[in-house]
C-alpha cells in the first residue's frame, strides 16, 4: 500500500511538471522588418550548469556573461537580394554576423526552412557561389513541446569553372569543371525545461539539443577516371573537407523571437566555446552589413543573364563595360544611379563562352572590376 501511494505521488508530480511546460507557437517565427537583437560572450567562468541531464524544472544561469560583440539581425524582403531569382518562395533574407552573404529562409505556418545562401564559399576558395539546399533544411518548427524530436537532411551541389578557381586547385589538376558538395544531417530534441537567466532577465525556456553533421567535398572530372574527390589526390588535406559535428543547446521561449541563448559546444561536448544570447538592451551593432567591394556579379559562371550589384554616389552616372581576354569591349552601358546601392541585369546570352572582365567606371575612372565566366 505504501509503495502504491508513493507511486501515485510520483505520477502526480510528473503530471504536474509536464502540464506546467511552455509551448512555443509560430508567433515567434520571424517576418520581414523584424530586427532580432543578440549579444555574444565566451567567458568560461560565467557559463554555469549548462551540462545538465534531460528533465523538468531546471535552472540555468548565464547572467554573468559580458558581451564581446553585438548583432542586430535584420530580416529583409528577399526580393531585395542579389540572388533572389534563385530562391523562389523565400520569405526572408538576412546577412549573417560579420558577413555580406545572403541567407534565404522560407517561413510556413509550422516551419522555418533554410533554403541556402549566396556569397563566400564555405571552403575558403575566395569565390562567390550559390549554395542551394535541396531539400530545404528545417531550422525551427511549431508548436514546440517537451519530448519533440525532429530530423532534417539536406544537400548542396554547386558547380564552378576552373578558370575562376584559385591556384591551389588549378595547380592540383586543370579540369574545366569542379563540384563542391555539402551534406547536412540535423537532429533536434527538446530534452529539458526550466528557467534561464541571462544578463538583464530570466525566462521560462525549453532546451533543444541540436546535433548537426556537415560533410564537405570537392570533386573534379578526370578523364578517363571520371569524378574524383580531390581529398584523395596527393594524400594530403588541402581544403577543410570531411565531416564536422556541431552540437548546440538552444534555449527557446514562447514570446521571444530571439532564442534566449544558443550555446555552442566543443567537439568533445564537455565545454561551451561561445554563447549567443538575447540582448535585452537594444545594442548598437558592431558590424553593419554592406558590400565589401563596389562591384558584385552573379551568377558566376553565367549562361544567359548576369545580375550586377554595385555601390555608387546617388545622382551620378556609372558606366559598366564587359571586356574579353584581348581587352576588347563586348558590351557596355551607362546607368544613372539614384541610390547608394544599385542592381542591373545584363543579357549575355549572345556572348561567346569564355573569360571576361566586368569593369565599373565613374567619371572615366575604374572603381571596380570582377572576372566573369560565360558558359
CATH 2.60.40.1930 boundaries in the chain: 295-374
pLDDT of residue 292: 40
Other CB atoms within a 10 A radius of the CB of residue 285 amount to 17
| Residue 5 pLDDT > 50 | no
| Choice between 43 and 246, residue whose per-residue pLDDT is larger | 246
In 3D space, the residue among 241, 119, 138 whose CA is nearest the CA of residue 181 turns out to be: 241
Enumerate residues 6+ apart whose C-beta is below 8 A from 212: 184, 185, 186, 187, 245, 246, 247, 248
Pairing mode of beta strands 261-265, 242-252: antiparallel
Tell me the HSE value of 53 on the side-chain side, using a 13 A CA sphere. 0
Average pLDDT value for residue range 216-228: 74
Window from 150-154, 265-269, 289-293 with minimum mean pLDDT: 289-293
Q: What pLDDT, in 10s, does the model give residues 133-150?
A: 999 999 999 999 999 999
What's the whole-number average pLDDT of the chain? Answer: 80
Compute CA 356 distance to the chain's CA centroid, rounded to the nearest angstrom: 30
Q: Which residue has the cell 508548436?
A: 143
State the sign of the Cα–Cα–Cα–Cα dihedral 86, 114, 221, 166.
Answer: positive
Model confidence at 286: pLDDT above 60 = no
Cα gap 128→119, rounded to integer Å: 5
Reported as a pLDDT band with limits 50, 70 and 90, residue 50 is confident
Contacts of 296 (CB under 8 A, 6+ apart): 82, 128, 308, 309, 310, 370
Task: Name 346's bridge partners.
Answer: 306
Distance CA 272, CA 276 (A): 11
> Are the C-beta atoms of residues 347 and 304 closer than 8 Å to each other?
yes
pLDDT tens per residue across span 13-22: 444 444 458 9
Give the model's pLDDT for residue 282.
58
Residue 30 C-alpha cell reads as: 520571424
In this prediction the pTM is 0.69
Most confident residue range from 170-184, 254-268, 276-290, 329-343: 254-268
Task: Please report how many Cα atoms fall inside a 13 Å half-sphere around the Cα of residue 190, on the Cβ side.
Answer: 24
CB of 114 closer than 8 Å to CB of 209: no
Q: Is the pLDDT of residue 95 over 90?
A: yes
pLDDT the model gives residue 342: 63
SS3 label, residue 339: coil
Residue 375 to residue 161: CA distance in whole angstroms: 9
Residue 198: CB partners within 8 Å, gap ≥ 6? 62, 63, 65, 260, 261, 277, 278, 280
Cell 551620378, located at residue: 316
The reply to whether omega before 288 is within 30° of 0 (cis) is no
CA distance 39 to 150: 27
Q: Which of 192-206, 226-240, 292-306, 338-352 has the lowest mean pLDDT?
A: 226-240
pLDDT at 169: 62
Residue range 295-374, CATH number: 2.60.40.1930
C-alpha cell at 157: 551541389
- Report the candidate in 185, 188, 184 with the shortest Cα–Cα distance to residue 249: 188
Does residue 294 surpass a pLDDT of 80?
Answer: no
d(CA 125, CA 266) in angstroms, rounded, equals: 25
Q: Which residue has the higher pLDDT, 308 or 29?
A: 29
Give the three cell numbers for residue 259. Answer: 532564442
Distance CA 364, CA 358 (A): 15
Considering only residues 140 and 46, tell me which one the structure prediction assigns the higher pLDDT: 140
**Res 12: pLDDT:** 39
The answer to which of 128-132, 284-288, 306-310, 326-330 has the lowest mean pLDDT is: 284-288
- Give the least confident one: 41-50, 110-119, 163-172, 326-335: 163-172
Cis check for the bond before 209: say yes or no (omega within 30 of 0).
no
For residue 318, the cross-strand partners are: 335, 362
Q: Look at residue 11 in the predicted model and tell me its pLDDT.
A: 39
For residues 103-122, average pLDDT = 93
- Residue 297 — very low, low, confident or very high, per pLDDT cuts 50/70/90? confident
Which of 69-78, 248-257, 334-343 bottoms out in mean pLDDT, i.e. has the lowest? Answer: 334-343
Between 123 and 2, where is the model more confident? 123
Please say whether the beta carbons of 75 and 31 come within 8 A.
yes
pLDDT tens across 164-205, in order?
566 656 666 655 567 788 999 999 999 999 999 999 999 999
Q: Where is average pLDDT lowest: 41-45, 84-88, 365-369?
A: 365-369
* Higher-pLDDT residue of 142, 99: 142
Amino acid at each position: 500500500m505504501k509503495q502504491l501511494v508513493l507511486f501515485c505521488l510520483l505520477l502526480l508530480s510528473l503530471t504536474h511538471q509536464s502540464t506546467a511546460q511552455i509551448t512555443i507557437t509560430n508567433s515567434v517565427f520571424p517576418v520581414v522588418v523584424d530586427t532580432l537583437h543578440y549579444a555574444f560572450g565566451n567567458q568560461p567562468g560565467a557559463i554555469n550548469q549548462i551540462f545538465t541531464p534531460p528533465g523538468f524544472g531546471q535552472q540555468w544561469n548565464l547572467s554573468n556573461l559580458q558581451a564581446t560583440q553585438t548583432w542586430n539581425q535584420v530580416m529583409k524582403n528577399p526580393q531585395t537580394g542579389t540572388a533572389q531569382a534563385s530562391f523562389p518562395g523565400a520569405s526572408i533574407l538576412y546577412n549573417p554576423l560579420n558577413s555580406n552573404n545572403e541567407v534565404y529562409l522560407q517561413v510556413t505556418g509550422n516551419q522555418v526552412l533554410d533554403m541556402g545562401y549566396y556569397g563566400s564559399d564555405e571552403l575558403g576558395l575566395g569565390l562567390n557561389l550559390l549554395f542551394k539546399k535541396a531539400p530545404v533544411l528545417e531550422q525551427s518548427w511549431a508548436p514546440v513541446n517537451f519530448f519533440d524530436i525532429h530530423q532534417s537532411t539536406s544537400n548542396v551541389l554547386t558547380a564552378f569553372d576552373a578558370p575562376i578557381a584559385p591556384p591551389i586547385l588549378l595547380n592540383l589538376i586543370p579540369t574545366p569543371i569542379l563540384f563542391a558538395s555539402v551534406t547536412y544531417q540535423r537532429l533536434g530534441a527538446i530534452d529539458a525545461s526550466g528557467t534561464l537567466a541571462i544578463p538583464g532577465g530570466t525566462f521560462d525556456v525549453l532546451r533543444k539539443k541540436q546535433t548537426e553533421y556537415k560533410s564537405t567535398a570537392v570533386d573534379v572530372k578526370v578523364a578517363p577516371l571520371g569524378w574524383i574527390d580531390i581529398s584523395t589526390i596527393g594524400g594530403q588535406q588541402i581544403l577543410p573537407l570531411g565531416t564536422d559535428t556541431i552540437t548546440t543547446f538552444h534555449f527557446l521561449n514562447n514570446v521571444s523571437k530571439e532564442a534566449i541563448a544558443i550555446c555552442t559546444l566543443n567537439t568533445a561536448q564537455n565545454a561551451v566555446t561561445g554563447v549567443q544570447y538575447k540582448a535585452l538592451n537594444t545594442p548598437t551593432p558592431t558590424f553593419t552589413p554592406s558590400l565589401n567591394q563596389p562591384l558584385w556579379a552573379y551568377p558566376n559562371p553565367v549562361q544567359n543573364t548576369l545580375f550586377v550589384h554595385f555601390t555608387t554616389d546617388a545622382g551620378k552616372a556609372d558606366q559598366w563595360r564587359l571586356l574579353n581576354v584581348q581587352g576588347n569591349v563586348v558590351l557596355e552601358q551607362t546607368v544613372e544611379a539614384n541610390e547608394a546601392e544599385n542592381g542591373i541585369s545584363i543579357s549575355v546570352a549572345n556572348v561567346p563562352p569564355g573569360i571576361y572582365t566586368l569593369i565599373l567606371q565613374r567619371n572615366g575612372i575604374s572603381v571596380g572590376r570582377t572576372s566573369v565566366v560565360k558558359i
